[in-house]
């Protein structure tokens, strides 16, 4: 089962317009060509804030933890007295997924 946001946009742009059955031609994406057969289609439903609130909270908490961890590791590396290797650290280059 594939939901919106799980694949690359150029693939989804074609995929979700297809009817049930074998696609009339392969779908091209940045990963190559794909032969697709749609076995089932289910309409999406709008979820309420109460339904998605726990997932939003979890995602934001994970992002905050990740950012704090990156900042902490940057500080440790920046303040460390490392000899024998040249390290160039810049905080704006720290990945913040």
**DSSP bridge partners of 38:** 21
Please check whether residue 91 is in contact with residue 74, taking contact to mean a CB–CB distance below 8 angstroms: yes
Is pLDDT above 60 for 96?
Answer: no
R_g of the chain, CA atoms, integer Å: 22
Stretch among 15-19, 31-35, 93-97 having the lowest mean pLDDT: 93-97
**Model pTM score:** 0.47
Note the pLDDT of residue 14. 93
Q: Where are the domains of the chain?
A: 9-38, 49-93
In the chain, DSSP finds a helix count (H) and a strand count (E) of 2, 4
């Amino acid at each position: 089962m594939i939901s919106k946001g799980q694949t690359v946009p150029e693939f989804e742009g074609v995929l979700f317009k297809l009817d049930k059955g074998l696609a009339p031609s392969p779908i091209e994406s940045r990963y190559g060509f794909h032969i697709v057969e749609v076995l089932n289609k289910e309409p999406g439903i709008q979820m309420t804030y109460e339904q998605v609130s726990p997932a939003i909270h979890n995602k934001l908490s994970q992002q905050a933890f990740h950012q704090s961890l990156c900042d902490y590791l940057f500080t440790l590396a920046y303040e460390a007295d490392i000899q024998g290797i040249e390290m160039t650290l810049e905080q704006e280059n720290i990945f913040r997924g």
